[in-house]
Structures are given as C-alpha cells and as structure tokens.
Amino acid sequence: MRGFTAAALAAIGATFLAAAPEAAQISGAGATFPYPIYAKWAEAYKAKTGVAMNYQSIGSGGGIKQIESKTVDFGASDMPLKPQDLEKAGLLQFPMIMGGEVAVLNLKGVAPGTLKLDGKALAGIYLGKIAKWNDPALQKLNPGLALPDQAIAVIHRSDGSGTTFIFTDYLSKVSPEWSDSVGASTAVGWPVGLGGKGNEGVAALVGRTAGAIGYVEYAYAKQNNLAYALLANKSGAYNQPDAASFQAAAANADWRSAKDFDLLLTDQPGAASWPITGASFILMHRQQAKPATAKQVLDFFDWCYRHGQSLAAELDYVPMPASVVDLVEAGWKTQITGPDGKPVWTGPGS
Amino acid sequence: MTAAILPALRKPRLGRFGDPAFRALTSAFALLVLVILGGIVAALARGALPALAKFGLPFLASAAWNPVKENFGAAAPIYGTLVTSAIAMLVAIPLAFGIALFITELCPAWLKRPLGTMIELLAAIPSIIYGIWGLFVFAPFLQAHLEPAIIASLGALPGIGALFAGPPLGIGLLTAGLILAIMVLPFITAVMRDVFATVPAILRESAYGIGATTFEVVWRVVLPYTRTGVLGGIMLGLGRALGETMAVTFVIGNAHRIQASLLQPGTTISAALANEFTEAVGDIYTSSLIALGLILFIITAIVLALAKLMLIRLEARAGA
C-alpha cells in the first residue's frame, strides 16, 4: 500500500514537472481557430530545434484567463483585447495568423460560388427579416438564379467563439440594425436560427439541413466541400474567398496606427478584399519572470513568421505580411522585459 | 501454553475492535457523500450569487440571453429541459412497459436472453454516439419524412396545431425528446423487466387459474405488486433525461428561445452549459451559467422528492 502511494505520488509529481515550462518546453492556450496551424508549426519546429510547444485549444476566453493567471507562457485570442484591458493585465498583444470566413449554403440547384449576397442581405437573413430563399431582396441580387420557395434555416455557433466574433463584427459594420439590436461578441443573442457546436458542428448542420445557411472558417468549408456564397465587399465587388482575397483585406489594413494591434480585418476597403477576414492574436506578459522561457517562445513565433508561411498556406491560413512582422518584432524588443528590465529578445537567432 | 491461548484470544479482540472500526469506516464513506453534495451545492450557490443578485427572481422567468448586453434569463433552458424530458417520458414509458411485459410474460424462452442483452447494449452506447447518429441520420430522416407529415396533419388542427407548426428543420425540441426517449428506454425497461420477474409465480398462476386474461393478470396482479419498482425505473430514466448533455446538444438547435412549436430549436440547461462555459467571457455570463447549473440541481432534487412522495402515498393507500 505504502509502495503504491509512493508510486502514485511520484507519478503525479512527474506530471506536474512535465507540465512546468522546462528548458525545452513552451506552453500556450486559447483560440481554436488557429489550432491546426499552431500544432503544425509546433511539430515542424520541434523536429528542427528540439523545442516542444504544447498548445491547448480551449477557446479564446479560456486562453485569456490562463495567461492572466500565468499558467501558460502565452495565450491566444481571436478577439483582440482593448488597450485598457491589456494595460490592466500587463499583457502585450500581437497578430499571428489570418484567415477568412465564408457563408456556406445547402441549397438545391444552386451551384457553389454562384449565389451572391451583400452585407445587408446577410444581416437580414440572420435577423430573421429575410426568411425565404425567394425573398425579393435575394432575388434582386441574383437575377440569373431561380431561387426556391423554401424557408431559410439559419445556422450559427452555439459555443462562444472568435469565429462568431469576427462574423458578428462584420454584420455590425454593414448593418446598423444588427449593431443596435444584437452587436458583436464571441457569443450573442441570436434573433433566429439553430446553433451547432464548433466549426464542425455548423458545417455538419448546414450539410444536413436543406435550405440552410451558416458561417465557418474557410478551411472547414473547403474540407467539407460545402457550397459557399459570394459576398460583396465594401467596394461592392464580388470575389472568390481564397488566400488572395484574404491577403488583400489584410494588406489594406492599417496596422501601424492601431494601438496594440487592436484592429479588425472585417469589411476592409479595396476591390480585391474578402469582407469577412480576421486575425488571431497572441498574448504575452510584458514583465517576464523567466526571461529564458520567454525568449524561447519569441524565437518560436519569429520562426513561424519567417519560415511557417508554406505550412500556413497548406492549411488555407494567410501569413502576416512582412511589414506587420517587422512592426510586431520591434514591439517585442522594447516591451517584453525580464526582471532586470532588459529586453528578453533582441532579434532572430540572438 | 501461551502459544495455544493466543489464537483464541485474538479472535474476540478482532471482533471487539474490528466491528467499531468497520462501522466508523463505512459511516465515514457515507458522510463523504453528504460532504461532497454539500460542497457542490455551496460552490454552485457561491458561483451563482453575482447573477442572482443582479437579476433577482425574474432570472427564472426571463427568456433573454444576450451575452453582449449581459442580460440573462433561465426560462428558455428550463423550458427546454422540461419539455424534452416530458417528450422522452411520454414515448419511453409505454414502450418500456410493453417491452418489459413482452419479455417477462409473453416472450418465447429462447428469445428472452438475446432480447434482454440487446436492450442492455442500448444502455452501453455512449451518449456522443447517440448525438452523432441523431444529427447525421435521425434528424435528416425527420426533416424529410416525419416532420412534413406531422406539419401537414397535426399542424393543421386548431389549438394543438401551434405545437407542430413551422418549417421542418429536423433539429429541435421534438428530435431531442425522441433521442432522449431512445436513450432512457433501456434503463426503464431493464428495471421494469427485473421487477416484473419478482412477482411470485403462485400469484400469477392463481390469477390465470381463476380465468384471468393476460391483460388482467398484468393490470391487476403484476403492476400492483411491482409499482414501487416501476416508479423507481421511471425516475431513473427521468433523472438521466434531465441531465443528458451531449446527445441533446447535437440535435436540439441550441437556441435560447421559447417557441410554441416542438419542431423549432430550443436549448436545455445542460446543453447551454456544455456549449457556452468554455468561452463565457465576463463574470455575469459565467455566473449566469453556474446559476443554470444550480437550477438543474434543484429541479432534479424536486423530481426525486416528488417521486418519494408518490411512493409514500402509494404505499399508504396499499396499506389501507
């Protein structure tokens, strides 16, 4: 019995030790949207350097809580924190990766990428004002399509999500009525519709429900071969959702003048932009008690920025443009410091 | 000499100290249950306090659920929990009763064992499997076949037509209730079958002997003899239906709304918790979810208390 207890204690102790950020182990937690690419980057980085990165995709809210209580080396959120909240928690925020969201459909007789929607129509559908596919507002946008006399099944996320935040932020920007009555957040009071859990839940509901419309990250729509709608951007142009149009939205964004990178990529100007584009953010403490670990974390992110682009493209994410990377890394050099007040990271390979 | 006495002495000594020690140990185990239960209630109440302080009693009656404006109410999840469980019971109890009766009274001997095993297997399926099956197989079937028929027939009736109105979505309170019915069926059936089997053969045979039909034997002899056990089985099923999470989340639609139609989406307390807890930002949001948990706890306690009360009254009537 005593031997067993000792063994159990040793096992528990070993678990805790393994979880602690030892020399070759860094840990993060947060948003689910960037999880596939973070996992891929971690795998490649470990093969190259031996440094393992452990990321728990527990959701943006959980990531923020964990980094605030310092149980992880970095947090990840799809919703940028406001400068005053960052200041209160002593956190630095920077964008890591971008991606797009698409409106997916299950509509018999309508080929993928042929139905056109604009922001007002999409908001109307999600407000419940447009309840049938042959509504005059939709028919007007699609003069060449024979839209069926079928009820629209509105699908949204049932769990709180950065994906929902980006989507509702877009609707708030294009529809004053949405902004007034619903607003933008990771979870909102949906006026109509059914909720699916996770991107896969929404994709499954849309795929299984005749007459459905939903929103998912582009990668999920692509993997599940879901039909998507074309969305009018701010300039009124209809583009295909792909890396090029996501990148165009990001390129038009003015990161330089956004304090703490508190910037959203939805409804960006530019004829080539995709309207529902978003970035995922990393959160780190400005004051680092363990500068060696912090340096390892930043080395990892630096590697991702500079060598992770092709992996990102494989998974349909959009890497940050070089100009933004320079801006982010300049922030690291001045704002993340150790107990001695010296910056923990001074440049690639330092 | 001493060597011969020692074993004899040891025996009563063990009895003297062994029994009290055993009693202390088991009562400590029993006490542990109370401590854990008390701890859960205390933790839930503490977590729910900010929301209850902010919204007060109207929290129970409000169907609002707006994380953006931090305005929350529990009415929609409570409604969904009660309605889906009621549908489940309405479907599962007669079915379970029929299956249990068939197995104990009418089934040919060679079929008894395989049938019983199959029903127990139903109970062993993890709830997530029911959820996935419900979403990918059952819901599309309902949407394409059953729901259009229901809307066309029952939906046209005055009065109760409102319960079956709206577009067929395949997802909603009715689907969740039906999935729950399938899930609780094996529990209720297994208990009913076991208690039906406890009816002494002499009672049954006497009834047949005086010319009773099978129906009369069941209604007048088997059921009165086993009603405590039958009620226990129903309560076991109801308890499971009230708290079931994963399967319901997949097929209920997760919408914080109260709608008259059973074909429309809703939510239950456990589904709302499972969906929203991870990403609930802000103290009031989290606290409101914990308050939902507390309410579920109270609902379950009330159901159990009612069951106990019913049993006591049944026994009193039987004794009189």
Contact yes or no for A185 and B68 at CB 8 A: yes
The C-alpha atoms of residue B9 and residue A139 are separated, in whole angstroms, by: 98
CATH number at B270 reads 1.10.3720.10
Contact yes or no for A182 and B64 at CB 8 A: no
Domain count, chain B: 1
Task: Tell whether A197 is within 8 A of chain B (Cβ).
Answer: yes
Query: How far A205 CA lies from chain B's nearest CA (Å)?
Result: 8
Annotation: CATH topology of A105-252: D-Maltodextrin-Binding Protein; domain 2 (3.40.190)
Q: What is the secondary structure of chain B as a DSSP string?
A: -HHHHHHHHHHHHHHHHHHHHHHHHHHHHHHHHHHHHHHHHHHHHHHHHHHHHHH-GGGGT---EETTTTEE-SHHHHHHHHHHHHHHHHHHHHHHHHHHHIIIIIS-HHHHHHHHHHHHHHHHS-HHHHHHHIIIIIHHHIIIIIHHHHHHHGGGSTTGGGGG-S---S-SHHHHHHHHHHHHHHHHHHHHHHHHHTS-HHHHHHHHHTT--HHHIIIIIIHHHHHHHHHHHHHHHHHHHHH--HHHHHHS-------S-TTS----HHHHHHHHTTT--SHHHHHHHHHHHHHHHHHHHHHHHHHHHHHHHHHHHHH-
Query: How far B148 CA lies from chain A's nearest CA (Å)?
Result: 13
Contact yes or no for B68 and A61 at CB 8 A: no
The C-alpha atoms of residue A125 and residue A119 are separated, in whole angstroms, by: 10
Residues of A in contact with B255 (CB under 8 A): 190, 192-195
Q: Within a domain: residue B50?
A: no
Tokens of A268: 């960006």
Which CATH code fits A6-100+278-335? 3.40.190.10
Q: Within a domain: residue B226?
A: yes
ipTM surpassing 0.95, yes or no? no
**pTM, to two decimals:** 0.81
Query: What domain range includes position B196?
Result: 58-319
Query: Which of A158, A161, A172 to probe the B interface (max B CBs under 10 A)?
Result: A158
Nearest to A59 among B167, B172, B279 (CB): B279
The C-alpha atoms of residue A223 and residue A242 are separated, in whole angstroms, by: 13
Domain range annotation of chain A: 6-100+278-335, 105-252
Residues of A in contact with B289 (CB under 8 A): none
For the segment B240-294, what is each residue's pLDDT rounded down to a tens digit?
999 999 899 999 999 998 988 999 999 999 999 998 887 777 789 999 999 999 9
Contact yes or no for A205 and B171 at CB 8 A: yes
For the segment A132-164, what is each residue's pLDDT rounded down to a tens digit?
999 999 999 999 888 998 889 999 998 888 889
Task: Tell whether B63 is within 8 A of chain A (Cβ).
Answer: no
Q: Within a domain: residue B246?
A: yes
Q: Within a domain: residue B229?
A: yes
Give me the average pLDDT of each 10-residue run along chain A (350 residues).
48 46 75 88 92 88 87 91 89 92 90 89 95 93 89 90 91 94 90 88 87 90 85 91 86 81 87 91 92 92 92 87 88 89 80
